[in-house]
Amino acid sequence: MRMISVAIAGASGYAGGEIVRLLLGHPDMSVGALAAGSNAGTRLGVIHPHLTPLADRVLVETTPETLAGHQVVFLALPHGASATIVDQLADDVIVIDCGADFRLADAQQWQRFYGSSHAGTWPYGLPELPLPRGHKGREALSGARRIAVPGCYPTACTIALGPGFAGGVLEAADVVIVAASGTSGAGKSLKPHLLGSETMSSMSPYGVGGNHRHTPEIEQNLSAAAAQPVTVSFTPTLAPMPRGILATCTARVKPGVSAATVRAAWEAAYRDEPFVHLLPQGQWPRTADVLGSNNVHLQVALDERTGRVVAVAAVDNLTKGTAGAAVQCANLALGLPETTGLPTVGVAP
């Protein structure tokens, strides 16, 4: 089979570097142009020393010309930067956007949380998204030429609670999520509050009070699963680790629903999913166990005293939370096996 040529815009960032890492192990894709912004002209090995096979590759400027001529283009750019690039790429090119530009269907929500004009809506790149009547999110991705990769928090939170809404066992109101993320989720730009001396041995909340930009995306996904509006109180926290998300998600169970019914809904939703692993009862997810993999580790329990389901999911925010999802979506768009080139084994200790 002829190798599929791929370009990565934003290759100097964490997400872009993770895409390159995964593509170096992909049997059907070859890495073409590696584009960047302010780091253009720099050797890749200076920015990402761990990417040894391409260390001498020089980063080029991010322009439509440098991205042209590739069958797949991954965009790992800041929010708001993808739309102008996409408009100048050929319609037959598969474009996988890791930014937020095309995730939301509601233009008013975009304007409220991002403060700019809405660029449009693309097929949403969460293949495992549980939908009513047994449908899944991957049904819109096969053969697609434009795909919006989910945010890292929405990936964990949606996979955690989606089966309960799609299976009709959860109430649509009073959903509460508290999630912890490693510092790489904030990107590679220097920020004083992300210095090692500020984050080591410390946790802190941010985006409190419904202000985090991933809130409408989580609500959009869970509403699709429930086939009715779902409201979410979402509080993210910053954890002293470079990678990983641990999302603790709770929602009210409908009257008369038992713990066995809850467990059965989650088992049915993910029984055939290669990357989502519902752990044996009593075993709870840890971020360390998904490090470097495209896996989601998941556990669910019913707090019968309060009538709430507690679902906990762990993902690597740079792999399944971003770059792994991007490659997974590209596989589906190209008609390749969905798991091609994606690691299903973590790194330990």
- 284: tokens are 């709870």
Q: How many CB atoms lie within 10 A of CB 223?
A: 18
CA-nearest of 216, 211, 207 to 108 is 216
Chain centroid to CA 3: 26
- 144: tokens are 């697609």
Rounded CA-CA distance 67/259 in Å is: 51
- 317: tokens are 């925010």
Q: Which amino acid, one-letter code, is at 38?
A: S
For residues 6 and 70, is the Cβ–Cβ distance under 8 A?
yes
Q: Supply φ then ψ for residue 190, to 5 degrees.
A: -70, 125
CA atoms lying within 13 Å on the CB side of residue 97: 28
Q: Which amino acid, one-letter code, is at 289?
A: D
Rounded CA-CA distance 119/125 in Å is: 17
Active-site residues, by number, are 152
Per-residue b/e over 331-340, b at no fewer than 16 CB within 10 Å? bbbbebebeb
Q: Which amino acid, one-letter code, is at 69?
A: G
